[in-house]
Structures are given as C-alpha cells and as structure tokens.
Amino acid sequence: MGIVKPAGQILLQEMRQAVDQLRGCVLPIYDANEQQEAELLGSGVLVELSGSTFLCTAKHVIDRSEASNLYVSGPEKLEQLLGVFRSTKEHDTAVLKLSPEQIALLQKFHPLRAEHIATGSEALACKYVEFIGYPETKNRKIYNKTMLENLVHSNGCKVIEINESRVRVAFDRKKNIDAHTRQRVQAPDPHGMSGGAMFGVPVDVKTLVGSPEPKLIGITTDKPDSKEVFGTNISVALAIVRDSWSTPLPERLNPAHITTHEL
C-alpha cells in the first residue's frame, strides 16, 4: 500500500509545481568588481506586454552599479546590459524596455505573458506567495574557474499583507519548509533575490481542486527584518511601462489608481 499524503502537502506541492512552470522569466543581474570579475547584484523579471519585452527589477539593484556596468547572462557569456531604466525611488522599482537585440541575447529566459500577471483584485486574493531569485551565496564565481553557477531558488511564504503598492510575506530562513518533502530546511540567505518575482496563489475553488494558477503579483525589494520579506505590487511596474513608453496595456492590467508623475 502506498503512503497517503496529507491534503495540505499535496496542495502545497501542486502550487509549487505550478510556480516552477513560470520561473524561467527570472534572471540574474551582475556587475564587475575591482578585479573585473562578475559579481551578482540581484535578480530581474522579464514580462511581455503589447508586443514589447521589459526587464523589471528593484531600483536599489541597478543603483549599486553606478561605478560599473550591468551584465546579464547571454547564450555563451555575460553580456553588457545597456539602456536607461525608468524608476521610482518611493517604491524601489525600475523597468527597462529591451531592444530586439537584447531580447535575442536573453534567449535562455522566457518573458512572462500578460495572462500570467495578476490584476489588483487577483493579487489581493492571494494567500500563498513564492518569491524567486538568485541568492548571492549560491551564485558566486567558482574557485579557479571563470564560470558562474546561475542557480535560481524559490521560497514559499504565507501572506501577511497585500495592498495596492506593496506585498509583505512571512519568511524565516531558519524555519523554511521544503514544499516537496515537507521537511524543515534552512533557506539560502535571500540577498541577491531582490528584483526577482513574487508569484501569488489564491485559495479558491480552482486551487483546492488541484489546478492552481499562480500569477506575478510583485517584485521582491527587501528583507527589513528576520521574519519578513517585502515586495512592490506589480501594478507599480505596469504603471511605469504604461507611462514611460506609452505602452497600451490590456484593460485588466491597467492600474488606473497609480500615476507616475513622480518617476
């Protein structure tokens, strides 16, 4: 006789598996240190809207590169990332519109389509969140080699608060639960995961019958203390896309409550 898994464990595994299908939109962002070696700055999220592709991240990630250039993982080597980010200091969010050449360089990653981005009401309904990014401790240069590990990681969390501009989740890296084994594990230090994706899952009929539909609800920004992680609601990045490049957004994703006159 097989082992019968608790319903809660099965549901958590299904949510985790559904999120895993979307994690290809998250990429690492690098700069160069004094020895001209690549160092991880943070993470970013690729989204595709109205035929264009945008890179979203945390503003403090790109601000750390003021004395250096930004780099991303190309097909065979790190490639310099050029362009002017549009950003908001208040919400710690930055967005860059990618050129066709840049999109081709990032062929290892898969921009998230509009149907996988949450509306305001969908974000508010989420009770479970996974934040995905590239922890710095797992992405250092391998000793005596030029390669980087490029290891993406995700953490499952319970929602504390979601509002029109912010996402706040509970996270204790020393008491993290592995969604596959249900064993308590110590998660990697989330430093480097800033700018990565926050995928939310609502607890509704679809989720409970085993067909969860996670959607992007935020961009990870910071970890203000040992028990929480904060992010910016994806509606802020959408407003930047709309107003900075006059991009027509799908009606369901147009955040009319957010203006970007201060960006």
pLDDT tens by residue, 86-105 = 999 999 999 999 999 999 99
Task: Write down the pLDDT at residue 165.
Answer: 93
Asked whether residue 215 is domain-assigned, the answer is: yes
Task: Write down the pLDDT at residue 248.
Answer: 95
Number of domains in the chain: 1
Which pLDDT band, with edges at 50, 70 and 90, does 209 fall under? low
Which pLDDT band, with edges at 50, 70 and 90, does 198 fall under? very high
Task: Write down the pLDDT at residue 122.
Answer: 93
To the nearest whole percent, how much of the chain has pLDDT over 70? 82
**Phi-psi group of 73: left, alpha or beta (phi > 0 → left; psi -120 to 50 → alpha; rest → beta):** beta
Domain that holds residue 43: 7-253
Average model confidence (pLDDT) across the chain: 85
Asked whether residue 259 is domain-assigned, the answer is: no
Task: Write down the pLDDT at residue 174.
Answer: 74
Say if residue 206's pLDDT is above 80: no
Asked whether residue 260 is domain-assigned, the answer is: no
Which pLDDT band, with edges at 50, 70 and 90, does 251 fall under? very high
Task: Write down the pLDDT at residue 252.
Answer: 93
Residue by residue, DSSP assigns the chain as: -PPPPPHHHHHHHHHHHHHHTTGGGEEEEEEE-TTS-EEEEEEEEEEEETTEEEEEE-HHHHHTTTTS-EEEE-SSSEEEE-S--EEETTTTEEEEEPPHHHHHHTTTS-PBPGGGB--HHHHHTEEEEEEEE--GGGSSBPTTSS-B----EEEEEEEEEE-SSEEEEE--GGGEEPTTT--EEPPPP-TT-TT-EEEEEE-SHHHHTT----EEEEEEEEEEETTEEEEEEHHHHHHHHHHHTTPPPPGGG--TT---TT-
pLDDT mean over 228-236: 96
Asked whether residue 214 is domain-assigned, the answer is: yes
Asked whether residue 2 is domain-assigned, the answer is: no
Identify the CA nearest to 126 among candidates 171, 93, 167. Answer: 167
Say if residue 26's pLDDT is above 50: yes
Strands 176-177 and 184-185 turn out to be antiparallel
- pLDDT tens by residue, 122-169: 999 999 999 999 998 777 765 454 556 678 888 888 999 999 999 999
Asked whether residue 221 is domain-assigned, the answer is: yes
Asked whether residue 258 is domain-assigned, the answer is: no
94: β partners: 57, 87
Task: Write down the pLDDT at residue 3.
Answer: 43
Asked whether residue 209 is domain-assigned, the answer is: yes
Q: What is the CATH number of the domain that holds 52?
A: 2.40.10.120
Q: What is the CA radius of gyration of the chain?
A: 18
Task: Write down the pLDDT at residue 90.
Answer: 93
